[in-house]
Amino acid sequence: MGFSGKQLMGVGIFLFVIFIGVPLIIAATGRWDFYYTLTSVALLAIASAGVWLTFYIGRINIGQGAFALIGAYVSAILVVKAGWSFWISLPAAGLFAALVAILIGLPILRLRGVYFAMITLVLTQVATLTALALPITNGAKGISSIPLPSGVSIFGIPLIPDFSSMENTKLAFYITACILMIVTYAALYRLVNSRLGHLCRSMQQNEELASSIGVNISYIRIVIFAISSFFGGIGGAMFGSIAQSVYPSSFQVADSVNFMLNCFLGGLGYVFGPMLGTLVLYFGWDLLFEFGKYQMLIYSTILILLIRFLPNGLLSLSIGKGDKK
């Protein structure tokens, strides 16, 4: 894979902005609450990346909230009840979400179009109800006072400092979330530009045709759905750790719909679309907080106008100027 100088420079500027620029601006303006907002954006962008990936095989996924909830609960239970380190429970949460996705995906990935969209929406509701019904998830009370992530050291060299001994956990969570987000999108970019990515694009266009020329479509869609849910689980687990609590209502149908909106708004044809969509939607929602009870009205009006006049996503504005994907 060759990168052009322009692309490398873009990535460089992006890294500089999120790791040096943003902390400097926040220190200068004193708006420490933006750390929490931006951390949420980074984590939601991870989950949205998963939704985007399912769209890449031509499925509209409104069930990411279910997998985020599963991830959050798995991590919380492992940390609180089994005493694991958070950093081990994080991949475990992702893997568990992926496992669930494989089991559920086997039947439901046969559905297409609007049926798949509706069944995944129902799935979010199922996850919430399951969390309410199971004994291990503590019902409606949820799991609260989850300890902050502990430190990790190998051979006495501290790799990750202990979060509970830190003065500024907000900055630490922000940097962790950004690193996770960058790894996610790097992985996504690599995946889309690999052989698997080409196969996915062929499925997005026409599954029968792809199948007829020897693409193992049922295998690919399970793999993609599992990866997508892995992202959802990671995002959810990290969210639970920051909020230090998980409730059945942590991720609901509205969150699932929002993950989908992030992808649609950013533009489905672009790998970095969901990241931009999440930033615009979540940050916009946060900025509109000052309008009090008109917040929802203004937010939804802007959303409707955006889709009315830019039905192909925000990034579609730059079509033709190159820099596609």
Q: What residue ranges bind other proteins (CB under 8 A)?
A: 55, 60, 104, 107-108, 110-115, 117-119, 121-123, 125-126, 129-130, 132-133, 253-254, 257, 260-261, 264-265, 268, 293-294, 296-297, 299-301, 303-304, 307-308, 311-312
Residue 138 Cβ, how far from other proteins at the closest point, in Å?
Answer: 15
Shortest Cβ distance from residue 264 to other proteins (Å)? 4
56, 13, 14, 46: which is closest to 274 by C-alpha? 46
Q: Which phi and psi (to 5°) does residue 319 adopt?
A: -60, 140
CA distance 325 to 316: 11
> Whole-angstrom Cα distance, residue 288 to residue 61?
28
Nearer to other proteins, 13 or 297 (CB): 297
In the complex, the smallest distance separating the C-beta of residue 10 from other proteins, rounded to whole angstroms, is: 25
Cα 318 from Cα 310, distance rounded (Å): 12
- As measured in angstroms, the least distance from the Cβ of 300 to other proteins is 4
Q: Is 51 left (phi over 0), alpha (psi -120 to 50) or beta?
A: alpha
Enter the tokens of residue 209.
Answer: 């045709």
**Residue closer to other proteins, measured from CB, 111 or 160:** 111
Pick between residue 127 and residue 234 the one whose CB is nearest to other proteins.
Answer: 127
Which tokens hold the place of 38?
Answer: 């931006």
Select 24 or 126, whichever has its Cβ closest to other proteins: 126
Give the span between the Cα atoms of 266 and 178, in whole angstroms. Answer: 19
| Nearer to other proteins (CB atom), residue 112 or residue 198 | 112
Helix or strand (DSSP H, E) at 158:
strand 157-160
Query: Which residue is listed with tokens 């820099």?
Result: 323
Shorter beta-carbon distance to other proteins: residue 34 or 73? 73
Q: How far is the CB of 135 from other proteins (least distance, A)?
A: 13
Query: Nearest approach, Cβ of 283 to other proteins (angstroms)?
Result: 17
